[in-house]
Amino acid sequence: MTDLAARVKDRIRDVPDFPEPGILFKDITPVLADAALLESIVIRFAEEFGNADIDTVAGIESRGFILGAPLALALGVGFVPIRKPGKLPWQTARVDYELEYGTDALEAHVDAVGADQRVLIVDDVLATGGTAAGAVQLVRQLGGAVCGVAVLVELGFLNGRDKLDGTRLFSLVGV
């Protein structure tokens, strides 16, 4: 484990039984509260994808926004919010996807990603992979090419990367 990964792991707070009994929630707010650590994370993500010719960064609601927007600035590209249904003010494209405990959906504006734009998707945690896989599907539906998925934490025991069908995945911390 790198020094940065160890520092991040030390700051992640485990919250038992949230949002429901039996779930151990990985709370990254202590990580985000440390400006130097947050900056180091953004720099590390930018190093990982700096040579991938990214055209835009897409952040998954909501913590993907927090990590994705400064990453987009570091890469010198724009930012696209991928949101839960009903939160975007204009025409949207939608993808429904499977979760371990049901279904959900993601939306983006229909013009958020241009044809063949190279997109990096960012989120805080990769768990079962349903949300990340839905975001990949949505970007492709809009005509974009997914260059990778970057997450702060991967819960490897849930095998979420298997749902990404070989899409490049970078996780800073594995749990």
77 within 8 A of 56, measured Cβ to Cβ: yes
Is 63 one of the catalytic residues?
A: yes
Residue 106 and residue 74: Cα distance in Å, rounded? 25
Q: Write down the catalytic residue from 13, 47, 94, 100.
A: 100
How far is residue 32 from each of residues 67, 124, 130, measured CA to CA in Å?
9, 11, 24
**Cβ proximity of 132 and 123 under 8 Å:** yes
**100 flagged as catalytic:** yes
Q: Could you write out the three-class secondary structure of 102-148? A: EEEEEEEECCCCCCCCEEEEEEEEECCCHHHHHHHHHHHHCCCEEEE
Active-site position among 11, 39, 63, 83 = 63
> Which strand (E) or helix (H) includes residue 42?
helix 35-49
Q: Which two tokens stand for residue 48?
A: 């990982």
Catalytic residue set: 63, 100
